[in-house]
């Protein structure tokens, strides 16, 4: 694992964008795992700039997103498909049919999550997963306490998450109560993970991810072979370590 502490989120986002750019240059057919939320937006802007300048191309790349609200059509301005189109896909040369977001309107969610995971596997697995982290430590819609071996599935949003998200909807009753989300186990299969975290409100979550008990648990599972791809969130992890990278300007006390 490598922890990169930056002074500004722009600097951290540039570094993260450079990792994606380097991957695309080395492997134009790269499989990307993408996240929504405010955190990756400056990184997406940096990538769109690189693409417009002809420095990188997503033409042969494929992407899979972490999660989607259940019940929202892709045209809804709070759906994650809409978010991805507006914040990244509409500004780069990726082929839209190669971008995948879970279908929040799927009649049979079991079928949907199964085919989603199968498609990732068929594409060769995720080469680089971009992650944000919630202030309570959630990753995708996996709240703290989610099983470390959880797969893509239906999840119920916690009352806190529903409350937090209410600001994006006209009225509280409009906030979806459920979502489809990749599981912790599915995410950990990525060959490389870049986790970005900005701001003082994420410091505890980053500290917990880097130093907390869950890290120990993940390591134990990895040693037992319970987590494919290995997940090292401790500096003492055995090489080669392909664990998450944390880019956080605040996590270690910097301004
Ligand atoms: C979104 C996702 C979420 C966010 C998290 C942080 O796809 O996976 O777990 O990463 O809620 O959100 P922001 O970036 O808005 O602080």
pLDDT, tens digit, 9 for 90 and up, residues 200-246: 999 999 998 888 765 555 555 555 543 333 233 322 232 333 334 34
pLDDT at 76: 96
Q: So where are the chain's domains? A: 3-247
pLDDT at 124: 98
Q: How far is the CA of 139 from the centre of ligand 1 (A)?
A: 7
pLDDT at 219: 53
Q: What is the mean pLDDT of residues 58-66?
A: 98
Is the pLDDT at 9 greater than 50, yes or no? yes
Q: What is the mean pLDDT of residues 14-35?
A: 98
CATH for 3-247 is 3.40.50.1360
81/162: higher pLDDT: 81
For ligand 1, say whether the CB of 126 is within 6 Å of any of its atoms: no
**Which tokens belong to 242?**
């392909």
For ligand 1, say whether the CB of 134 is within 6 Å of any of its atoms: yes
pLDDT in tens, 78-100: 999 999 999 999 999 999 999 99
Instruction: Determine the distance from the C-alpha atom of residue 226 to the mean position of all C-alpha atoms in its chain, rounded to a whole number.
Output: 21
pLDDT at 41: 98
Q: Which of 138-142, 186-190, 238-242 has the lowest average pLDDT?
A: 238-242
Question: Of these residues, 50, 76, 138, 189, which one is catalytic?
Answer: 138
Show Cβ contacts of residue 209 under 8 Å, excluding neighbours closer than 6 positions: 133, 137, 195, 215, 233, 244, 246
Predicted TM-score (pTM) of the model is 0.85
């Amino acid at each position: 694992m490598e922890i990169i502490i930056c002074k500004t989120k722009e600097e951290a986002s540039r570094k993260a964008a450079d990792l994606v750019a380097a991957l695309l240059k080395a492997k134009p057919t790269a499989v990307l795992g993408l996240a929504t939320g405010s955190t990756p937006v400056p990184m997406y802007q940096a990538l769109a700039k690189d693409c417009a300048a002809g420095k990188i191309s997503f033409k042969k790349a494929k992407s899979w997103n972490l999660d989607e609200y259940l019940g929202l059509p892709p045209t809804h301005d709070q759906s994650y498909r809409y978010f991805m189109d507006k914040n990244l896909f509409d500004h780069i040369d990726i082929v839209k049919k190669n971008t995948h977001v879970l279908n929040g309107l799927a009649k049979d969610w079991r079928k949907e999550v199964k085919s989603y995971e199968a498609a990732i596997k068929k594409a060769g697995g995720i080469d680089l997963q971009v992650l944000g982290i919630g202030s309570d430590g959630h990753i995708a819609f996996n709240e703290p306490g989610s099983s470390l071996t959880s797969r893509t599935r239906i999840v119920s949003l916690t009352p806190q998450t529903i409350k937090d998200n209410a600001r994006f909807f006209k009225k509280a009753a409009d906030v979806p109560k459920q979502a489809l989300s990749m599981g912790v186990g599915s995410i950990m299969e990525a060959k490389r993970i870049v986790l970005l975290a900005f701001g003082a409100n994420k410091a505890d979550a980053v500290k917990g991810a880097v130093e907390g008990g869950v890290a120990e648990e993940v390591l134990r599972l990895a040693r037992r072979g319970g987590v494919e791809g290995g997940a090292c969130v401790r500096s003492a992890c055995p090489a080669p370590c392909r664990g998450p990278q944390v880019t956080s300007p605040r996590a270690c006390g910097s301004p």
